[in-house]
Structure 1
Amino acid sequence: MGKEEIELLFRVIPLAIGAAFTPSLFGLQLVAAVSPRWISRTIATGVGAGLAFAIAISLLLFGFASLPADNRGQDSPLSGAIWLIVGIVLGASATWLFMPHPELAKSSEMRLTAGLNKARPLTFFGVAFALSIKDVTSFALLIPALHDIAASKVDIWFKIPTALLVYLIALIGVILPPIWRLIRGERAEELLDKMFRFTMDHQFKILGVVAVFFALYCIIIAAGTGKFGWIHW
């Protein structure tokens, strides 16, 4: 593995981790993991989220790979602009996310709990797919990551597993709860219930912290060597 490959991984993996912070989707999988028929429901939730992310990532990769040669490089003005714009958008959204939204938080929780105890796995699939498609914060973080993968000078056989790694990391929120339930059995329910309560009570603050951190990260990358080059390190 050469310098190009290592630098690419160091740039995109943090963005994939940030994309995994989706409180509503994570909350849905927690509900599925402590419910009756939890195996089929968590699988359905994972497949729904996985399909949505797969469609979005495939379209973004194809779109970036199809750009004209002048705009395709990871050190092109377009690349720097993508990182900078995403950073500014995340920073601006953090202001709204840190404001109190009690009614919105309550309605968000109700959508995850009302009627789902009796719902079929197909319902969990549909809800997970819808929540994932509407996940603006995650896709905002994936845009610069996928552009850099598509624009990188590394071999195609490194790009493919890197894109797959980004995809899997972004889905950690729907992967870990059923694994923990499988390992711990019914003893896992207490912890999963506590995690659900914490996630729902602080969902906007969680997204706000993620938005601030990655706003700074994206702006720093945009200003650095290989992008706009305003700062050299």
Structure 2
Amino acid sequence: MRTRHSERHRLSRIGWLRAAVLGANDGILSTASLVVGVASAPQARPSDILIAGVAGLVAGAMSMAAGEYVSVSSQADSESAELELESRELRDDPKGEHKELAEIYVQRGLDRTLAEQVATQLMAHNALEAHARDELGLSDTTAARPLQAAIASAISFASGALLPLLAVIFSTRNLAAPVTVIVSLLGLAILGGLSAAMAGSPVVRGVVRVLFWGAAAMALTAAVGRLFGVAA
């Protein structure tokens, strides 16, 4: 019978969790701060506040997508260059590469005889894959995917940014700023708590941390909006 591996580890979801949390957190915080800043200006009309929020959502989502695409594309280029170099080394010096792979297994705890046998069998199966995984630390699960990363970042940012926008839409002009602050802080608290729980970190610490910086950002932009709005 085939044995099923029932253990569940959090490390397997750190990558996508980090990207999703950062994107949604940025979406809530940057859009809410922008909306609160504009709403705090006495002369701002409801349409001005909404336009600022929508513009912030679109610009932020595109910025996140572009930044993630460029960053992950650079990583993908580096990975391709490393694999190409490793492929040449395998072709030009297979014995040296075998010795190098065996030495890696020795350093991980295998005796030399077994390490050489493992290296021989893995290289016979797929030499490049063995060296990519055990020498370079590359695998299919960790491979850089620029387009996927860009789309995921844009979607997570836009999803977070919708929260303060909905707060603006369903509140009156006089209550736009306070309602946005309350709703956005609530969203940040939930997001911080969920991400901390999924990562195995203390939930209270995660919530307090995100609430502190969220409140600070919105307070600062509100002060700027009121100051320059009065001056204007």
- Higher Cα Rg: structure 1 or 2? 2
TM-score range, shorter chain: 0.3 to 0.5
| TM-score of the superposed pair, with normalisation by structure 2 | 0.39
Task: Answer 1 or 2: higher relative contact order, Cα 8 Å, separation at least 6.
Answer: 1
TM-score by length of 1: 0.39
